[in-house]
Amino acid sequence: MLIEIPEPDVILGVIVAFVIGLVALYSYYKIRPFIKSKSEMIDSSQLERLEYYEKQLIDMKIRLDSMEMQGVEQKNEDPNLEIKQFLEKLSKNQQVIENPIISPKTAEIMNKEESGTNRMPNLDHNNATDYVLHLITDKAMTSRDIQITLKRSREHTSRLMKKLFDDGYVKRNTSTKPYTYSITEKGKEKINVLQSSSLIV
């Protein structure tokens, strides 16, 4: 059986074609990540749209929280419910007028509620920090209590408390939920320095 050997030009052409194919594959896989296909372009536009909607939702949540803080509530749709509430208030007022004697326990509770509802006006960052340190000097407070007292948003209060915690002015009690914050020695020193500087001025 005779084996026919191809000519050297044919062998050389096959080898060159093979090498060119390898180089083409190698360059294709190297360049491919830099070329965006239509599906990838669509994915990026969808991601941008999702990020936009996510930002919108966050803004709406912040606005809702601020409206709740300011006491703006949606009106009840049932007009009879408002009338019932008004009548209940009238009956309670009549009972208070008829029974003006208040027990000592209820007087203490009312005093605590009045002192708890005293709120500070808008403060700049340093005054808010000092005020929070003065607040938690007497007793440990939750971030919600501090938020209500300062009339600030939940995000602002959490950032402020995180900064105070990172600076070492307050300590966080993580054994209870919600966390309570109390003042540290460093925080007490800051309050004393502020009081002494205000006395000098």
Task: Write the pLDDT tens digit of every residue in 155-194.
Answer: 888 888 888 889 888 888 888 888 888 888 888 888 887 6
Average pLDDT, the chain: 76
Q: What distance in Å separates the CA atoms of residue 75 and residue 130, rounded to the nearest whole number?
A: 38
Determine, yes or no, domain membership for 77.
no
Determine, yes or no, domain membership for 114.
no
Alpha helices in 32-142 (DSSP H): 38-70, 79-98, 104-117, 125-138
Determine, yes or no, domain membership for 73.
no
Each residue's pLDDT tens digit, 78-132: 556 667 776 777 777 666 565 555 555 555 555 555 454 444 444 455 577 888 8
> Alpha carbon of 120 to those of 36, 115, 146, 149: distances in Å?
56, 12, 11, 7
pLDDT of 36 reads: 67
Determine, yes or no, domain membership for 135.
yes
Determine, yes or no, domain membership for 178.
yes
The range of the structural domain enclosing residue 180 comes to: 123-200
Determine, yes or no, domain membership for 17.
no
pLDDT range class, residue 57, cuts 50, 70, 90 = very high
Determine, yes or no, domain membership for 113.
no
Domains held by the chain: number: 1
Q: Domain containing 178 — which CATH number?
A: 1.10.10.10
Q: Quick check: 136 pLDDT over 50? A: yes
* Contact (Cβ atoms closer than 8 angstroms) between residue 179 and residue 185: no
* Contact (Cβ atoms closer than 8 angstroms) between residue 149 and residue 120: yes
Q: Quick check: 154 pLDDT over 80? A: yes
**pTM of the predicted model as reported, rounded to 2 decimal places:** 0.37
Each residue's pLDDT tens digit, 28-48: 999 888 776 666 666 777 888
Q: What distance in Å separates the CA atoms of residue 115 and residue 108, rounded to the nearest whole number?
A: 11
Nearest CA among 120, 125, 126, 124 for reference residue 191: 126
Determine, yes or no, domain membership for 133.
yes
